[in-house]
Structure 1
Amino acid sequence: MGKQKNPSRTAENEAMAKARMLRASPQKLNLVAALIRGKKVERALSDLTFSKRRIAQDVRKCLQSAIANAENNHNLDVDELVVAEAYVGKNLTMKRGRPRARGRFGRIIKPFSELTIKVRQIEEQA
Structure 2
Amino acid sequence: MDLTRTNYSSGAPLEEKTGYSRMVKVGPFVYIGGTTSVQPDGTVYGEGSAYEQTKYILEKLVKLLEKSGSKKEEVIRIKGYTTDMKYGAEIARAYSEIFHDIKPLFTMVGTTMLNRPSQLIEIEMDAVIITNEQ
- Greater RCO (CA < 8 Å, at least 6 residues apart): 1
The two structures share one fold, judged by TM-score above 0.5: no
| Max Rg structure | 1
TM-score under structure 1 length normalisation: 0.42
When you count strand as a share of all residues, which structure comes out higher?
Answer: 1
